[in-house]
């Protein structure tokens, strides 16, 4: 399913790469709001520097974005995601490291 992507949001290609790396629901409690929608809200907030409360409604409740961001920071999800993307991109030659000493 193709989604209309706004500037700064995940493309279908980027989403296909990270979706399998995200935590799955464990079957307890309420179902989570869509990961992609929430991540796009988090990206909006990080890109703009706006307060969490100013996240546009299209990304769901700001509290959901904040809680997911905080939870994934605490449990290492963001670090694992970054590491996986860097390792995979480096293994296929898509990462160029630059060292600068001042």
- Condensed to tens digits (0 to 9), the pLDDT of residues 2-30 reads 556 677 889 998 899 899 999 887 667 78
This model's pTM is above 0.95: no
CA gap 15, 13 in Å, rounded: 5
From the list 74, 84, 2, 10, the residue with the least C-alpha distance to 43 is 10
From the list 40, 30, 31, 28, the residue with the least C-alpha distance to 65 is 40
Segments of the chain scoring below 50 in pLDDT: 1, 95
List phi, psi (to 5°) of 30: -75, 150
């Amino acid at each position: 399913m193709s989604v209309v992507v706004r500037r700064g949001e995940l493309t279908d290609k980027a989403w296909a790469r990270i979706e399998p790396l995200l935590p799955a629901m464990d079957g307890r409690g309420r179902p989570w709001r869509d990961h992609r929608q929430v991540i796009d809200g988090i990206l909006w907030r990080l890109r703009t520097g706006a307060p969490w409360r100013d996240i546009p409604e299209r990304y769901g409740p700001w509290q959901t974005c904040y809680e997911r961001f905080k939870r994934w920071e605490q449990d290492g999800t963001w670090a694992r995601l970054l590491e996986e993307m860097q390792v995979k991109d480096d293994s296929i030659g898509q990462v160029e490291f630059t060292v600068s000493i001042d």
